[in-house]
Structure 1
């Protein structure tokens, strides 16, 4: 579904991605791991055309869409749950969900069924929701675009433990439904229960990749690259 090859990007004269390679197949869950400031969000921004790639390729469903406009990336099948949620604060829950809706299996009723809490607050404005409810809304809004691949940047950052559990349960349900997911988060234990494969980056370079068994057998990877 998604193939990233040799991706390079810069902020001004400062090069921050140095040849990122990663892939997500249909129905797979892949993590992008690393400490803060190592290039995870920059990788996502470059995939979505929000930051210009200096080199490399972003291939979505067999089509090279490197540096395509963000709306073309979305139409190709990628849905983004951005860092900081970025919901529309002056639209209510229903309006947020419908703002970018596209035809497909994910309808308003289905999203509200996945997140009953949003159904209870359907008439509340975005800025009246708790942080956890806003994250549910951001996930629901991305689902309403009916993506083939969901990308979540800091899926549970800053959320209360009970809300985090709800989000992980939601992502597990999406995996069971066959949704492909690329997820960034710091909760390694939760990610290992969910993901098929992990990609670890350090200073804009991929330094390790492997499945759950390989990561479990490599505590030095967690100690060196993932612990603060």
Structure 2
């Protein structure tokens, strides 16, 4: 459903991406891996129209969406969980969720009730303001908010960054449940071992270029990929 073709992007005169190719099929989980500063977040911004590519194409369901507005991209069925969460701090949990609610043709898969089933803690704290939540709860809320758009592809930039180990495991369990619901997922995170437990394919980038792609069994069978491109 999503295909990037030779995407090139820059901030001013600083070129960051040099021909990124990436695709995610319906129901598939794909990771975008690489060390800090290699272009992962820039790739996400280029997908969502937050940064207009200098070259290449962003294709969604066969339609060229390159450089279209973030609103237009979201309407095509992409939901973003951004780096830093960016929830609305002065809205309640429930208000954050309702603010992005969108129902597509047919019955909505994701409603307040289904998000609360996925994240019971959010239901418990539904009247708390966003700035009253812990980091883990804010990340749950950011994921729930993306799901409330009823997307066909959920994109997570740094899914578990800065979270305690127990909370990370809770987030991974929820992402596996989201996959089981048939959602396609594109995820950035540094925890390769956790990603390997539920992702289908992996794309590794280095200095703005794709240097390796493969399945989870291929990644696990190629430890030099982690040693060369993923370790700090």
TM-score interval for Structure 1 and Structure 2 normalised by the shorter chain: over 0.9
Are residue 154 (structure 1) and residue 158 (structure 2) matched? yes
Q: How many pairs does the alignment contain?
A: 228
Alpha-carbon deviation of 1:201?
Answer: 0.1
Alpha-carbon deviation of 1:7?
Answer: 0.2
Question: In 1, Cα distance between the equivalents of 2:89 and 2:5?
Answer: 36
Q: Tell me the secondary structure at the aligned position of residue 54 of structure 2.
A: strand
Q: Tell me the secondary structure at the aligned position of residue 84 of structure 1.
A: coil
Q: Which residue of 1 aligns with 2:44?
A: 44
Q: Which residue of 1 aligns with 2:18?
A: 18
Q: Normalised by the size of structure 2, how large is the TM-score? A: 0.98
**Aligned-residue CA RMSD (Å):** 0.5
Q: Tell me the secondary structure at the aligned position of residue 194 of structure 1.
A: coil
Q: What does 1:16-165 align with in structure 2 at a 5 Å threshold?
A: 16-103=16-103, 104-165=108-169
Alpha-carbon deviation of 1:219?
Answer: 1.0
Question: In 2, Cα distance between the equivalents of 1:42 and 1:170?
Answer: 26
Q: Normalised by the size of structure 1, how large is the TM-score? A: 0.99
Question: In 1, Cα distance between the equivalents of 2:43 and 2:212?
Answer: 16
Deviations 1:128-175 (A, max 9, x none): 000000000000000000000000000000001111011000000011
Consecutive unaligned residues of structure 2, counting only runs of 5 or more, are: none
> Which portions of structure 1, spanning 4 or more consecutive aligned residues, are displaced by more than 6 angstroms?
none
Consecutive unaligned residues of structure 1, counting only runs of 5 or more, are: none
Question: In 2, Cα distance between the equivalents of 1:140 and 1:55?
Answer: 33
Question: In 2, Cα distance between the equivalents of 1:176 and 1:87?
Answer: 25
Question: In 2, Cα distance between the equivalents of 1:123 and 1:204?
Answer: 42
